[in-house]
Amino acid sequence: MDPNTPPHPRAAAPQDPLVVYFSSISGNTAKFVAKLGFPTVRIPLRTGEDTPIMDRPFVLCVPTYGRPRSGETIPPQVMKFLREPRNRELMLGVMGAGNTNFGEDFGIAADKIAAKCQVPVLYKFELMGTSEDVTRVHEGLTAFWTRNCPPLPA
């Protein structure tokens, strides 16, 4: 399988997992999320842009940003997004991207968000993830979504 092809490509449906993500200029997180094949909403790159207000459950995918040792790990754009009460209410979990060079601080932004918002950390991956990461997240998020977001009645 081509690692850039979603494992199960199909048309997005309302019962599909929704992934809200922030990706810096490097685009690593955006590349990973695109490989999943789920509907997505991107948090704007610039803090001056309007932040999305969510209207259905989602999982947040966020890179660790800045300098983990200084405590500046969550991108300001994500902080702005999470200051919206509706966004915090609808978040079911968080996935973290990072660099294993950070050691014990690998994916720490996801850990901090999960603790603050009382949601689980669902997965952590390095940089733009591997094809194994994509498969594991796709399968795991599908199962998580099925347990936590039953299909809407027809």
Per residue in 91-110, pLDDT (tens digit) is 999 999 988 777 788 889 99
Average pLDDT on 57-67 reads 86
Compute the distance between CA of residue 12 and CA of residue 47 in angstroms, rounded to an integer. Answer: 28
- As a whole-number percent, the residues of the chain with pLDDT over 70 amount to 84
Compute the distance between CA of residue 62 and CA of residue 41 in angstroms, rounded to an integer. Answer: 12
Sequence length of the chain is 154
CATH superfamily of 19-44+55-145: Flavodoxin domain (3.40.50.360)
pLDDT at 33 over 90: yes
Average pLDDT on 42-48 reads 93
What is the pTM assigned to this prediction? 0.85
136: left (phi over 0), alpha (psi -120 to 50) or beta: alpha
Of 35-49, 101-115, 118-132, where does mean pLDDT reach its minimum? Answer: 101-115
Compute the distance between CA of residue 2 and CA of residue 4 in angstroms, rounded to an integer. Answer: 5
Higher-confidence residue: 37 or 153?
37
The pLDDT, as a whole number, for residue 5 is 39
The pLDDT, as a whole number, for residue 121 is 96
**Secondary structure (3-state) at 42:** strand
Compute the distance between CA of residue 151 and CA of residue 154 in angstroms, rounded to an integer. Answer: 9
What sign does the CA torsion over 30, 133, 10, 152 have?
negative
Domain borders along the chain are: 19-44+55-145
Determine what percent of the chain falls in helix, strand and coil, rounding each to the nearest 5. Answer: 40, 20, 45
Average pLDDT on 33-47 reads 94
